[in-house]
Amino acid sequence: MPWAKVPKSVATKRKENREKSARHYARHRDDILARKKAAREQKAKQADGNRSDGRTRGGVKDSAGTGHMQAPHSSRGIESQERRLQNALTKHTEGDPVSFLDRLYHRYISHRVTALLEARQVLESAESQINTLIKYCYEAEAEVLQRRGANEEYRRVQSFSKRVKCILDCIVDMEMFALDPDEDLERAYLERRLQFQKTPTQGWLNGTVSIPE
């Protein structure tokens, strides 16, 4: 009966790999060193060329003569994030958050009159959409904060996020008041709607979904 095959331990495998690498290096040592030397010379030659001809990268010259050309300060990443927010807002609110909230409210009320269970189904669907929209906001906030810190672009994205979360607060109020029909649901809705409309600019609320200036 043949002996059972015993698997090699991790330490044994690592030792064998080290010995294999050492044999390979000893066999091809001259070629390896020659390739490394050629790569260093090519890199140094390229750096000298950049310093001598003042070549630029992204419109910024290597004025310090260091060979390391700094990329220009660009808001392209920020604009991309804001466009993503615009697209998300347009997709989930059809370009007009206030009208979207109005339609959601009246649709909810109409279903609430007929059947509370059906109203809850509508509510859960709308809340899922708003949650998706808020996820875009938080992702953009995190990336903008990481890139630039708490500057103007970050504050604009943060302000937009707060306004969108106000819609979700309204939906949560609807769900809470649905459990108590004696509460004034319409008053709570109008308060939330007014809070959502109070903003220094009319961006996001005029139907064009433009970036607030």
What one-character DSSP code corresponds to residue 87? H
Looking at the structure, do residues 16 and 85 belong to the same domain, yes or no?
no
Residue-wise pLDDT for 95-126, tens only, equals: 665 566 566 556 555 554 554 444 455 555 55
- Residue 56: CB atoms within 10 A of its CB come to 13
Can you tell me which residue has the tokens 């030792």? 15
Q: What share of the chain is helix, strand, coil (3-state, %, to 5)?
A: 70, 0, 25
CB 130 within 8 A of CB 171: yes
From the list 47, 51, 45, the residue with the least C-alpha distance to 63 is: 51
**Beta-strand pair 60-61/56-57:** antiparallel
Asked, for residue 202, whether it belongs to a domain, the answer is no
Looking at the structure, do residues 100 and 179 belong to the same domain, yes or no?
yes
pLDDT at 7: 75
Looking at the structure, do residues 132 and 190 belong to the same domain, yes or no?
yes
Looking at the structure, do residues 14 and 98 belong to the same domain, yes or no?
no
pLDDT at 83: 63
Residue-wise pLDDT for 42-52, tens only, equals: 888 887 766 55
Residue-number span of the structural domain to which 167 is assigned: 76-197
Looking at the structure, do residues 24 and 107 belong to the same domain, yes or no?
no
If DSSP codes are grouped into helix, strand and coil, which group holds residue 199?
coil
Asked, for residue 206, whether it belongs to a domain, the answer is no
Looking at the structure, do residues 27 and 132 belong to the same domain, yes or no?
no
Looking at the structure, do residues 122 and 20 belong to the same domain, yes or no?
no
pLDDT at 61: 46
pTM of the complete model = 0.23
CA dist 67 and 45 (Å) reads 10
Looking at the structure, do residues 36 and 93 belong to the same domain, yes or no?
no
Asked, for residue 138, whether it belongs to a domain, the answer is yes
Residues of the chain with pLDDT under 70: 1-6, 49-213
If DSSP codes are grouped into helix, strand and coil, which group holds residue 60?
strand
* Residue 129 C-alpha from the chain's centroid: 17
CA dist 119 and 114 (Å) reads 8
pLDDT at 146: 57
pLDDT at 36: 86
Looking at the structure, do residues 162 and 103 belong to the same domain, yes or no?
yes
Asked, for residue 156, whether it belongs to a domain, the answer is yes
Total domains, the chain: 2
Phi-psi domain of 67 (left: phi exceeds 0; alpha: psi -120 through 50; beta: other) = left
Asked, for residue 50, whether it belongs to a domain, the answer is no
pLDDT at 85: 56
Structure token pair of residue 204: 């996001």
Asked, for residue 115, whether it belongs to a domain, the answer is yes
Can you tell me which residue has the tokens 């059947």? 115
Asked, for residue 147, whether it belongs to a domain, the answer is yes
CB 155 within 8 A of CB 82: no
Asked, for residue 208, whether it belongs to a domain, the answer is no
Task: Kindly state the helix (H) or strand (E) to which residue 190 belongs, with its residue range.
Answer: helix 185-197
